[in-house]
């Protein structure tokens, strides 16, 4: 193969994962090929390059382009004006080296869910003293207005760009969620739990954070998930149906997913609810519905379920 294409075997193995010996850890890779960084792809003469990337690859740190979770295969924005997003990818990779990809996969998705929930809190309904909501919403809104400018939503909307807007804070929260030490504190006695809630509160800009039994995915995670193993990806590239079919890699957007995307873009242009887009995106499904979640009839029901607790924090309700 190498002789035929004239490329070194190392290059081929990184492009064609199936040639690797020993075979790759498929679970660590996304199941859908996606478009990567514009500059990296520019070195390839044959047009857009589809790659199967690991779950922890969100940014090309070399060229500072957002790659993001697989979406409609839109090119991600350049991150010149948001260097903190590039820095977050480096932190994310350090977390993977320290805790292993399964713990960090779960932690980053859980953190995306937590931030998206906070972003979705309507400013009018939010407690005026709730500084964390206001401050975070402001930062995330600014980034999202840069990545998806007002009045261009129909052309520039993509869920992936909204993930970019909350990525730095999500990685900061994920550092706690992936850490066995912090997980033990979250599952510990009142004093240990209070150390955890203070730390996560600081990281969310809310030093007085207290778990609530409603609309609080952190409280749900403390009660239901922190003492259980991380949730794995639902499928792998190797297990995805038809991945060996010739032409599968030449991914084109199907008509139905294009229609779904256009509807979402229209809805977003009328009513910007970025947190909601992220909560409903398939990327975070594995942590919204976990193996031990109470089955719900609708996905909205599952989201509500992932934000409440059964008994532990009811005393704190006001
Ligand atoms: Zn690149």
Q: For residue 267, what pLDDT is reported?
A: 92
- Residue 172, domain extent: 81-316
CA 261 to ligand 1 centroid distance, Å:
26
CA 141 to ligand 1 centroid distance, Å:
26
Q: Is the pLDDT of residue 185 over 50?
A: yes
CB-side exposure of 66: number of CA atoms within 13 Å? 33
CA 98 to ligand 1 centroid distance, Å:
24
With respect to residue 188, please indicate whether it lies within any of the assigned structural domains: yes
Instruction: Write the DSSP assignment of 106-174 as a string of letters.
Output: HHHHHHHHHHHHHHHS-TTTS-TT-HHHHHHHHHHHHHHHHHS-TT-HHHH--HHHHHHHHHHHHHHHH
CA 16 to ligand 1 centroid distance, Å:
18
Nearest to 98 by CA among 31, 30, 176: 176
Q: For residue 38, what pLDDT is reported?
A: 85
> Which residues make beta-bridge pairs with 35?
50
CA 117 to ligand 1 centroid distance, Å:
31
Q: Is the pLDDT of residue 245 over 90?
A: no
Q: Is the pTM of this model over 0.85?
A: yes
With respect to residue 23, please indicate whether it lies within any of the assigned structural domains: no
With respect to residue 14, please indicate whether it lies within any of the assigned structural domains: no
Higher per-residue pLDDT: 244 or 17: 17
- Residues with C-beta atoms within 5 A of ion ligand 1: 37, 39-40, 60, 62-63
With respect to residue 238, please indicate whether it lies within any of the assigned structural domains: yes
With respect to residue 191, please indicate whether it lies within any of the assigned structural domains: yes
CA 39 to ligand 1 centroid distance, Å:
5
CA 143 to ligand 1 centroid distance, Å:
21
Whether 178 and 116 have beta carbons less than 8 Å apart is answered as no
Q: What is the mean pLDDT of residues 152-179?
A: 96
With respect to residue 3, please indicate whether it lies within any of the assigned structural domains: no
Chain centroid to CA 296: 22
With respect to residue 160, please indicate whether it lies within any of the assigned structural domains: yes
Phi, psi (degrees; rounded to nearest 5) at 65? -110, 140
With respect to residue 8, please indicate whether it lies within any of the assigned structural domains: no
CA 84 to ligand 1 centroid distance, Å:
17
Q: Which of 73-77, 108-112, 114-118, 270-274 has the lowest mean pLDDT?
A: 73-77
Q: Is the pLDDT of residue 25 over 60?
A: yes
CA 205 to ligand 1 centroid distance, Å:
32
Q: For residue 248, what pLDDT is reported?
A: 47
Per the prediction, the chain carries an average pLDDT of 85
CA 92 to ligand 1 centroid distance, Å:
17
Q: For residue 250, what pLDDT is reported?
A: 45
Band of the pLDDT at 207, cuts 50, 70, 90?
confident
CA 51 to ligand 1 centroid distance, Å:
12
Tokens matching residue 28: 């660590």
CA 216 to ligand 1 centroid distance, Å:
37
Q: Is the pLDDT of residue 282 over 50?
A: yes
CA 133 to ligand 1 centroid distance, Å:
34
Could you give the number of structural domains in the chain?
Answer: 1
CA 61 to ligand 1 centroid distance, Å:
7
CA 308 to ligand 1 centroid distance, Å:
40
CA 126 to ligand 1 centroid distance, Å:
40
């Amino acid at each position: 193969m190498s002789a035929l294409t004239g490329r070194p075997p190392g290059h081929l193995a990184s492009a064609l994962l199936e040639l690797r010996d020993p075979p790759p850890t498929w679970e660590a890779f996304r199941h859908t090929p996606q478009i990567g960084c514009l500059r990296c792809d520019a070195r390839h003469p044959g047009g857009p390059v589809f790659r199967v990337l690991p779950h922890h690859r969100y940014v090309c740190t070399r060229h500072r382009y957002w790659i993001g979770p697989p979406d409609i295969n839109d090119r991600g924005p350049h991150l010149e004006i948001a260097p903190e997003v590039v820095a977050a990818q480096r932190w994310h990779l350090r977390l993977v080296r320290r805790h292993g990809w399964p713990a960090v996969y779960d932690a980053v998705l859980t953190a995306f869910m937590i931030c998206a929930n906070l972003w979705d809190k309507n400013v009018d309904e939010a407690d005026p003293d709730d500084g964390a909501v206001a401050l975070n919403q402001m930062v995330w809104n600014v980034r999202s207005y840069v990545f998806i400018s007002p009045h261009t939503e129909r052309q520039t909307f993509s869920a992936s760009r909204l993930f970019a807007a909350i990525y730095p804070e999500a990685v900061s929260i994920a550092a706690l969620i992936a850490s066995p030490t912090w997980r033990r504190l979250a599952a510990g006695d009142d004093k240990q739990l209070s150390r955890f809630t203070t730390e996560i509160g600081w990281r969310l800009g809310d030093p007085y954070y207290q778990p609530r039994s409603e609309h609080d995915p952190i409280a749900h995670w403390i009660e239901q998930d922190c003492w259980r193993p991380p949730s794995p990806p639902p499928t792998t590239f190797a297990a995805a149906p038809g991945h060996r079919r010739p032409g599968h890699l030449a991914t084109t957007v199907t008509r139905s997913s294009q229609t779904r995307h256009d509807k979402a873009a229209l809805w977003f242009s009328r009513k910007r609810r970025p947190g909601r887009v992220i909560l409903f995106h398939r990327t975070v499904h594995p942590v919204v519905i976990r193996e031990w979640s109470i089955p719900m009839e609708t996905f909205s029901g599952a989201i509500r379920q992932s934000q409440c607790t059964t008994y532990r924090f009811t005393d704190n309700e006001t």
